[in-house]
Structure 1
């Protein structure tokens, strides 16, 4: 499948009807093939929004459309063919090899209890090669480093052949090199990508658009240089944020200080 537009129209969510929404009505439009970065302080509603996009939470209001169709109007198997997710929490390996974990990504494309076919095997092999996992393919997932495991989780998601890839803090707990590798991979994928990130400098460099959330409210949506301003970042994160250029050829980076 090719990348698809993602449109959220006034989506909100609450864990219990009658209680205050954790995410207030939120709207945005991500064009096919773009990378949307969802940023904001802890408790802003980032993970709640992502869970609605990959169909874990049903919106209290509004709808999320992928390629023009409400994701909650299609059967779960079809939704899993359109949206794949890589989460912060990595499940136990259960003794599975890397190849077996990546093969799990083909599950939404199999009918009933049918087994993997030649096409599935070809897609798994191609995905393993794309993510440079050939040397680990027959190793137990539990024996890999955090960065290697993250690549395997991305490979499993890509094996679903989705139109949209959702990544919830994909650089969390990774060292600097593996963070950069994951972000470089994001830019290479021919998919619509929605990713939550804590590092605002990484978000500004990686994403085509930014959605800034604070306490469940949308504080800004648009190109990074328009949303991630000193004033907006300082207000949302309650810090003194400054954009600085380390040298004339450098892109400006944020530095952060506690308010005096």
Structure 2
């Protein structure tokens, strides 16, 4: 797997027959191998933006380009080989095993209804090993814990051999240990990653750049060290935010309180 550059230019989205966009024109670039965090309060437009990036919805305006090529100018199967997504909602597995779920990631690489070949099975085996899932391969997906399910869904996405990985709130509903596992995994994948997160301090810790959204409008884009000021965070989240630097590493950390 290799990483790709992502370029988003003036993308917006509104439901049909609606004059009010859910996402207003938004632009940013993510260099190959970098991690972009998308943050903002509920209803900010984070999930809508991600759906545009993995080609679930077509932008009302603007373009999404991977290595300079518009994703809507390429066949859907080709796009699925370049962009994979792990969503908050996990579809019913209908009795499928972990291995069978991960095999689904090879679908974009198969011709029509062809069965998995030796190369496909080799990719699946590598991904299962990388995510420490070998002991669970025969387990029914529905019997797994939340953390285990999340690892399986990431494995399915990696089996697509994408260049860009989209993660929608990957730590949501996970306990602290499984949150740390997911964060550690994100940092070692070597792909271009766009991840939406509720935890601002987690975003600071793992992301190279941050995009802040509020009410469908971009509020700022850039490195977290310079972008995330007390004023911006307080205004975006309607809280009293105070940024501190933790000794001895100097890592930034926000504390929050309700405004007076």
Is TM more than 0.5 here? yes
State whether residues 109 and 160 of structure 1, in contact with CA within 8 Å, keep that contact through their aligned partners in structure 2: yes
State whether residues 84 and 164 of structure 1, in contact with CA within 8 Å, keep that contact through their aligned partners in structure 2: yes
Q: Give SS of 2:58's match.
A: coil
Name the CA distance, whole Å, in 1 between partners of 2:214 and 2:247: 32
In structure 2, the residue matched to 1:131 is 131
Name the CA distance, whole Å, in 1 between partners of 2:203 and 2:248: 21
Q: How does 1:219-230 map to 2 (within 5 A)?
A: 219-230=219-230
Name the CA distance, whole Å, in 1 between partners of 2:14 and 2:28: 19
Structure 1 residue 135: Cα displacement: 0.6
Alignment pair present for 1:173 and 2:182:
no
Alignment pair present for 1:234 and 2:220:
no
Structure 1 residue 247: Cα displacement: 4.1
Q: Give SS of 1:157's match.
A: helix
Structure 1 residue 246: Cα displacement: 5.0
Structure 1 residue 143: Cα displacement: 1.1
Q: TM-score, normalised to structure 1's length? A: 0.98
Structure 1, residues 186-211: CA drift from partner, whole Å, max 9, x if none? Answer: 01002100000000000000000000
Name the CA distance, whole Å, in 2 between partners of 1:221 and 1:236: 13
Structure 1 residue 245: Cα displacement: 3.8
Structure 1 residue 67: Cα displacement: 1.2
State whether residues 204 and 252 of structure 2, in contact with CA within 8 Å, keep that contact through their aligned partners in structure 1: no
Q: TM-score, normalised to structure 2's length? A: 0.98
Q: How does 1:38-117 map to 2 (within 5 A)?
A: 38-117=38-117
Structure 1, residues 82-131: CA drift from partner, whole Å, max 9, x if none? Answer: 10000000111210100000000000000011100000000000000000
In structure 2, the residue matched to 1:212 is 212
Pick closer, same or farther for the CA change 1:249–1:117 going to 2, 3 Å.
closer
Structure 2, gaps ≥5 residues long = none
In structure 2, the residue matched to 1:159 is 159
Structure 1, gaps ≥5 residues long = none
Structure 1 residue 228: Cα displacement: 1.4
Q: How does 1:177-196 map to 2 (within 5 A)?
A: 177-196=177-196
Q: Give SS of 2:251's match.
A: coil
Structure 1 residue 244: Cα displacement: 2.4
In structure 1, the residue matched to 2:31 is 31
